[in-house]
Structure formats: structure tokens, C-alpha cells
A and B are shown apart, each in its own frame.
Chain A
Amino acid sequence: MPTAAVTMLEWTPEFAVHVPEIDREHQFLFGIVNHLHEAMLAGQGAETLGTFLAELAKYTIYHFANEEKTMVAAHYPEMLAHVEQHEGLRRRVSEVKVRFERGEIALTIELMLFLSDWLRNHVTVTDRRLGNYIQVEQSFTAYLDKARSPGPAHRKHIRAYGATVRGG
């Protein structure tokens, strides 16, 4: 029954970057934004804004750190531009937190428009590029691993070659 609040940021396969950990974290991030939408729908955005900002700041730090670790491990060539985008969101969330702490409570609409737009663009463009790179990198690593460790047929051939050499 679709009478309940509809999820504003619905995580659909179009948001998948095909890195399971990152996809899971994106879904959680979408969930945080959807909680704000639900609070706004109840006219309680201002009351929940403090908790929302704290949770958003905490989770973005955690999630961005994970993504950045993945980029370092994969020697991702576009890391700098990607991290700049993360910094952009961190700064914006910080600014909004400061404004809220100074007593500005009328921020929810601005924040919702910004976050929906930022997340949609970042996940479907920037994170997807990272996902694609990691997928290719993983396939290549798997290929190299396979090449380094010979399969049963190859081992049999090596044994036969060894026996020939010894017998010879």
C-alpha cells in the first residue's frame, strides 16, 4: 500500500556502482536523506535537523574515508578530482552545521534540494567511474593471478616435461 511516505531518493539499479560495499553505503546514505524527507513531511524538519546533520556528517566522513581507501588501494588515477568533490560536500555540511548551531533552523528545503542533487550526480557520474575502474582492475588482477598460478592441465604438462627431462 503506497500511502506511506515515498522514498525521495530511491536506490534503484541505476545508482549501482557495482562495488558491493560502496553500494551498501550509498543505500544507507540515501536512507539518511529519506529520514529528513519524512521529518519534513511531518513538519518537523527543524526539530530533527540537528540529529540529521550530525548523522550525515558522521556517515559521510566514514563513507568517504572508505571510498578514498579503495581509491588509494586501486591507484585510482582520478582520485584527486573525486576527493575534491568529497571535500565540497564535507565543507557544505560543515557550513550548514555552523549556521544551524548559530540558530538558523530554516534550512531544510535548501539542504534537501542540495543533497538530492549532489548525491544523484556524484553517485551516477563520479562514483560510477570509480566503480567501473575497480571492476576492470579486479578483472585484470584475477587474470594476472590466474596467469601466475597454473591450472591442472598446465601442471600436468609441467610434470610431464619434468619427467621427460629427468628421463632424458
Chain B
Amino acid sequence: MQLTDRLRIRDSAMPLKATSYPASTQSLGQLIADLDSLNHDTEQGFLSIGGKLAEFMQTVSVISSELTALANAEHGQQASEALTHALDRSTKKRAAQGNRDLGLADMRHEVVQLKRTLSGFQETVSTFRTLGLLTRIETARLGSTGADFSGLADDVSLLAGQVHSKVTSAMTIADSLIPPIESAMREIAALEAGQTKDLPALISSTLASLSSFREVQDRAHDSSDRLAAEFGKVSDAFKKLIVSIQFHDITRQQVEHVIEVLRRLNSEYMKLAGNPSSHPRGTAAVLALQSAQLADADKKFRASVESVERNLEGIAKHVLEIADESRALSGVRADGKGSFFLPMERDCGAILISLGHTANVEAASLATRMGLSETIDQMSGPIHGILQIETKMRMMALNARISAFHLGADGSALDVLAGSVQQLASECRERSELLVASLGSMSEAAAHSRGDDEQDPGGVPENGDGCLDELRLSVADLHSATERSFALISQIVARGDRLSEGLVSTRKEFSVGTLFAEAVTRARESMQEIGDEAQCGLPCDENEDPESGLADFMSLYTMQSEIDVHEGVTKASIGTMDSTTPIEGQKPPPGDADEIGDNVEFF
């Protein structure tokens, strides 16, 4: 409750005093109560601001430690190394991808060759079939003489059919090899584009952002150092404030001593209860002295309050500077919609997406290449089957030639046919050997395209997306560090803003100075009225020493300033002294808390 409100309530609640007491007693009672209230309320006002100051000091301390944490954080260093490593690896991978691409191109070439070789078998099969037919005609012409050749035609036809079947099967498999090889080649091209073009661009951009981020850290470090100095100033200012608040105790004691004197005077009035128009001796002098003490207290109080206000404003200014500096660190634009951290986050996000895509494509591509190996393995079955047929054919042709030799001239035609079969079987063998060689080359190319024969640039074998995982973790860590810094800076800004607002608000609410001045003015006016009344009611005895009785008050004083005021008043003419003007020889009230001077020695 405000002092003025309390006074109003008390005034309205105060019962009318008994008429047997002098009016001055009532006025003195009111005066004592008002001064008591004044002390109580100013005490509360200072206690309240003291509590807030303690909280503000803690906040400043927290801001300082948060800035230090921001400056000392290892944000980005590890990620920077990982990204630089990734960029290097990406360049090396580009070469490795080129090799893989080359391996696939070789494989594709081998498949085309293989298909061409297999196509050659079609003619062989056709010739076999013709030879089978001719053999059948010739054995028919020979009749019983050619009985030994009766099965030869069937065997040639059967083997021709088997060769055809195996070739068709191998051809089908060879045909199925082309699309996945081409698909793998396209995927590798996409990987190359992603990993060796887009990703390095993103990494470079992130590294550039990181460089800016380090600048922010450096600035945070500088800010932290500057803030440490600022914090020193702010702490000093807070200390001054606290001393200023303690200074209130000096004025409180001074007012208490005035109250004590007024109580004594009131007791004197009580003794004169039977004579309402009488006044205790020396009343005017006593009241003039107390008025001077109050005036002195008011000046000291005003100086103390001004010091508090000045310090609060100074601290608020410092804190606002800290908040502005922190806001500048975050790079948040004036409209609050952009931030230095945004492009950094976007880069991290894009890298993570690119890495995820690359991992998917690489996994799919690896699966394709593994599939190619399996397909190639499948092809070896028919090709080895052809080799076995060829062996059978050669055996069969050799037997036919022996039988033809035994027939003599009649067997010459069959000998020619068996020779042709033999020759075709040899051609078949050559082709089959070509096919086996092609299969070997294709298997090698497939293994090469899988990267089985590669070593990681750092000596670690390439293990699918292992290095991608590492990079992904580094970028995720970088983003985590970025968001932590962003949140920390935002927090510092919020704390600074709120502290500044709190200080300004405290400064505005700090109204005890006005209340004190008003209360002192009212009290001194009352004293003046009572003093005037006392002088009129009881003319001053010419022989009365104006200082008589005042000396007793010296025992009440606990501060040098009270003694100074007392001496100033007693030396001057009590009746004519203007108690509102400073007393000659009296020390001026302290303008700042560190100018308390001699007054502190009494505590």
C-alpha cells in the first residue's frame, strides 16, 4: 500500500482527540504516526528493490556464463573435419566410380561379344541339322551296308537340338543381362552426379557456413570478454545500488531520532493536560532542530534515491547493449524473420537428404551388381553344357569316320559327313571356349563394378554406406550443435531483453523518493505550525536560553551528520533560522553511495 493511501486511511480512522489535551498533542501524535509510517514504507520500498536487485545480479551472472559457454563450445570443429574428409573422400570416390563405370562398360561389351558368339551357334545348329538329314539319306542309300550308321542321324539331330536348347538358354540369359547393366550404369552416373557434384557443392557451402559460424564463435568469445568487463561494471553498479539502499538506514535512524524527540515533547504536552494553551519550554527550538534534522535526512534520502535511479538506468543501458550484441550474434534480422543459422540448417538438411538418397541409390546399385553376378553364374550352366555336347559330337564323329573307313569306297560319303560333324564340333569347342573366357571376363567386371577389389582411401575397405553413415552422423552432430547455439543465443537475447525491461520497470516503480519528500514537507509544515503556535502561546522568555534542553538530544545521535545539524542549529538563531536551507558548515549530503563519509562509522 502506498504511504499516501495509508495516511488517508489512518486519518479517516483516527478518533477525535479529547478536548482536555492541547491541539498540539494531537498534531504531534499525527506527526509521529506519519513519520513511523514513512520509515516503514521506505523500508519496504528498499527491501523490494533489494530483492529485485539480487535477482537481476543472478540474471547478469547467468547471461555471462551462457556467453562463455557459447564462446567455448567446440561447435563445428569436429563436423568441419568430417566434412573436409568427406569432400576429399568424395573426390577419390569420383575416380573409383569412374572405374566402376568402366567395369560395367567392359561387362556390357563382353555381353555383346557373348551374344555374338552365341549367334554363331545358330548356324552351327543349322549345319548340324543338315548333316543329320544328309546322314539319314546316305544311310538309306547304303541299305543294309550302312546298318552301323542307322543311329548316327538320330544322334546328330538330338545333339543339334541340345545345342540349340543350350544356346537359346544362354542367349536368353545374356539378353537379360543387358538392361540391369545399363540400369547399373545409369545409377552409377546418378551417384556420380550426386556424390561428386551436388554433394561436394553442398559440403563446400556448409563449410563456408561453418567458417561464418566460427566467426560468430569468435565474436561470442570477444563479446564474452567484453561482457566480463561490462559485468564488472554492472557488478560495481549493483554494489553501489546496494550501498545506496543501505544508506537508507542512515536516514531511517535520523527519522527515528526525530520521532523519539517528538515523543518526548508529546509527553511534556501531556503533563500540561490541565492547561491546553500552555506549551513546554523550548518547544519551538526543539521543533526547529527536528525540522532541520528532517531536512537533512530528506537531502540525504534524495541523493540516495537519485543514485539508485542513476545506477538502475546505467545498468539497464549496459544490459540493453549486451542484448543487442547477442542479437547481432544470432544474425537475426531486425524483422526477426531471418537468421544466420537458417542457411546453415538448410545446408545440413540438404546434405542429409543427399546422403540418404545416395545411400539408397548405392544400395540399389549394389543389389543390381550382385544380381548381375548371379545371372552370370546362371549362364555358365548352358555354356558348359554346350562344351559337353561338343565332346559327345567329336566322339560320335570319330566313331562314324572309323565305321566309314571299314566300308571302304561305299563309306566315303559318310566319311565326308562325319568329318564335317567333327569339324563343326571343333568350331563348337572354339566358340564354347570363347564363351567361357567371356564369362570369366564378365565375372571379373562384375566384381570390379561391386568394388570388391577396392580399398578405402584411408585404408579401410569400402563397406557399402559405412562412410555415408559416418558423414551423416557428423552432419547431424553439426546441426545439433547449430540448433543448440541458436537456442542459447536466443535465450541470452531473451534474458537480456527481460532484464532490461525489468530494470526500466523497477526504475519507474521506484517512487519512495517522492513519497519521502512529500512526507518530510508535510511533517516540517506541521512542526512549523506547532512551533509558531508555541511561540505565540508562550512568549519566549528573554532570559531563556534557546539551547536549553537541546543538549540532551546529543545522546540520541549515532551519526556525524546529526551532530553537524545539531551544532549548526544551536549556533544559529533558532527563531530566525530557515530550516529548509543547508546549514552552514554542514557537510553536503552524499551524491553517491560511496560518499557516505563519516556517517558509516556510527554503524
Taking a contact as CB atoms under 8 Å apart, the answer to whether A105 and B479 are in contact is yes
Interface of B is mostly: helix
B329-365 with Cβ < 8 A to chain A: 332, 336-339, 341-342, 345-346, 348-349, 352-353, 356
How near does chain A come to B327, taking the closest CB pair, in angstroms?
13
B495 proximal to A (CB < 8 A): yes
B58 proximal to A (CB < 8 A): yes
Among the listed A2, A6, A41, A112, which residue makes an inter-chain contact with B484, where contact means beta carbons less than 8 Å apart? A41
Identify the stretch in A42-50, A84-92, A125-133, A153-161 within 8 Å (CB) of chain B at 4 or more residues: A42-50
Interface of A is mostly: loop
The interface residues of chain A lying within 8 Å CB-to-CB of B341 are 109
Taking a contact as CB atoms under 8 Å apart, the answer to whether B345 and A8 are in contact is no
A82 proximal to B (CB < 8 A): no
**Known contacts A3-B62, A6-B495, A105-B479; A42/B484 CB under 8 A:** yes
Taking a contact as CB atoms under 8 Å apart, the answer to whether A113 and B337 are in contact is yes
The interface residues of chain B lying within 8 Å CB-to-CB of A116 are 336
Taking a contact as CB atoms under 8 Å apart, the answer to whether A105 and B487 are in contact is no
Binary contact readout A1-24 vs B (1 if CB under 8 angstroms, 0 otherwise): 111011110100000000000000
Residue of B whose beta carbon sits closest to that of A9 = B494
A107 vs B481: C-alpha distance when bound (angstroms): 13
Among the listed A8, A43, A104, which residue makes an inter-chain contact with B491, where contact means beta carbons less than 8 Å apart? A8
A5 vs B337: C-alpha distance when bound (angstroms): 22
How near does chain A come to B66, taking the closest CB pair, in angstroms?
9
The interface residues of chain A lying within 8 Å CB-to-CB of B482 are 109
A126 vs B86: C-alpha distance when bound (angstroms): 48
How near does chain B come to A1, taking the closest CB pair, in angstroms?
6
A117 vs B482: C-alpha distance when bound (angstroms): 20
Among the listed A3, A37, A46, A103, which residue makes an inter-chain contact with B490, where contact means beta carbons less than 8 Å apart? A37
Taking a contact as CB atoms under 8 Å apart, the answer to whether A43 and B337 are in contact is no
Binary contact readout A85-121 vs B (1 if CB under 8 angstroms, 0 otherwise): 0000000000000000011111111101100110000
**Known contacts A2-B495, A107-B345, A113-B336; A46/B484 CB under 8 A:** no
Taking a contact as CB atoms under 8 Å apart, the answer to whether B55 and A2 are in contact is yes
**Known contacts A2-B58, A103-B352, A105-B352; A45/B337 CB under 8 A:** no
A105 vs B353: C-alpha distance when bound (angstroms): 9
A117 vs B339: C-alpha distance when bound (angstroms): 13
Taking a contact as CB atoms under 8 Å apart, the answer to whether B488 and A1 are in contact is no
B516 proximal to A (CB < 8 A): no
B471-507 with Cβ < 8 A to chain A: 476, 479-484, 486-488, 490-491, 494-495, 498
B59 proximal to A (CB < 8 A): yes
A109 vs B348: C-alpha distance when bound (angstroms): 12
Taking a contact as CB atoms under 8 Å apart, the answer to whether A5 and B476 are in contact is no
Taking a contact as CB atoms under 8 Å apart, the answer to whether B336 and A41 are in contact is no
B128-158 with Cβ < 8 A to chain A: none
Taking a contact as CB atoms under 8 Å apart, the answer to whether A104 and B352 are in contact is yes
Taking a contact as CB atoms under 8 Å apart, the answer to whether A1 and B58 are in contact is yes
A40 proximal to B (CB < 8 A): yes
A112 vs B494: C-alpha distance when bound (angstroms): 14
A116 vs B486: C-alpha distance when bound (angstroms): 14
The interface residues of chain A lying within 8 Å CB-to-CB of B491 are 5-6, 8, 37, 41
Taking a contact as CB atoms under 8 Å apart, the answer to whether B353 and A104 are in contact is yes
Interface centre among A3, A10, A109 (most CB of B within 10 A): A109
A113 vs B91: C-alpha distance when bound (angstroms): 36
Taking a contact as CB atoms under 8 Å apart, the answer to whether A106 and B484 are in contact is no
Residue of A whose beta carbon sits closest to that of B335 = A117
Taking a contact as CB atoms under 8 Å apart, the answer to whether A110 and B498 are in contact is no
A32-89 with Cβ < 8 A to chain B: 37, 40-46
The interface residues of chain B lying within 8 Å CB-to-CB of A40 are 483-484, 486-487
A6 vs B489: C-alpha distance when bound (angstroms): 11
How near does chain B come to A44, taking the closest CB pair, in angstroms?
7
How near does chain B come to A104, taking the closest CB pair, in angstroms?
5
Taking a contact as CB atoms under 8 Å apart, the answer to whether B337 and A103 are in contact is no
The interface residues of chain B lying within 8 Å CB-to-CB of A7 are 494
A1 vs B459: C-alpha distance when bound (angstroms): 53
A3 vs B55: C-alpha distance when bound (angstroms): 11
The interface residues of chain A lying within 8 Å CB-to-CB of B336 are 113, 116-117
Residue of B whose beta carbon sits closest to that of A3 = B62
Taking a contact as CB atoms under 8 Å apart, the answer to whether B349 and A107 are in contact is yes
Taking a contact as CB atoms under 8 Å apart, the answer to whether A109 and B337 are in contact is no
The interface residues of chain A lying within 8 Å CB-to-CB of B483 are 40, 43, 45-46, 108-109
Among the listed A6, A106, A113, A117, which residue makes an inter-chain contact with B349, where contact means beta carbons less than 8 Å apart? A106
A109 vs B352: C-alpha distance when bound (angstroms): 16
Taking a contact as CB atoms under 8 Å apart, the answer to whether A108 and B494 are in contact is no
Taking a contact as CB atoms under 8 Å apart, the answer to whether B479 and A46 are in contact is yes
Taking a contact as CB atoms under 8 Å apart, the answer to whether A103 and B339 are in contact is no
B569-593 with Cβ < 8 A to chain A: none
The interface residues of chain B lying within 8 Å CB-to-CB of A105 are 349, 352, 476, 479
**Known contacts A104-B352, A106-B352; A8/B494 CB under 8 A:** yes
B51-71 with Cβ < 8 A to chain A: 55, 58-59, 62
Taking a contact as CB atoms under 8 Å apart, the answer to whether B353 and A109 are in contact is no
The interface residues of chain B lying within 8 Å CB-to-CB of A103 are 352-353, 356
Taking a contact as CB atoms under 8 Å apart, the answer to whether A6 and B487 are in contact is no
The interface residues of chain B lying within 8 Å CB-to-CB of A8 are 490-491, 494
A117 vs B353: C-alpha distance when bound (angstroms): 27
The interface residues of chain A lying within 8 Å CB-to-CB of B55 are 2
Taking a contact as CB atoms under 8 Å apart, the answer to whether A6 and B348 are in contact is no
A residues adjacent to B (C-beta < 8 A) = 1-3, 5-8, 10, 37, 40-46, 102-110, 112-113, 116-117
Q: Can you list 17 pairs linking A and B with CB atoms under 8 Å apart?
A: A2-B62, A5-B491, A40-B484, A40-B486, A41-B488, A43-B483, A43-B484, A45-B487, A46-B483, A103-B352, A106-B349, A109-B342, A109-B486, A112-B487, A113-B337, A113-B338, A113-B342
By Cβ-Cβ distance, the 10 closest A-B pairs, closest first, are: A106-B349, A40-B487, A43-B480, A43-B484, A41-B487, A106-B348, A106-B479, A40-B483, A109-B345, A45-B483
Further contacts, 20 of them, CB under 8 A, given A10-B498, A43-B481, A113-B339 = A2-B495, A6-B498, A8-B494, A10-B494, A37-B487, A37-B490, A40-B486, A41-B488, A43-B483, A104-B349, A104-B352, A105-B476, A106-B346, A107-B349, A108-B483, A109-B482, A110-B345, A112-B487, A113-B342, A117-B336
B residues adjacent to A (C-beta < 8 A) = 55, 58-59, 62, 332, 336-339, 341-342, 345-346, 348-349, 352-353, 356, 476, 479-484, 486-488, 490-491, 494-495, 498
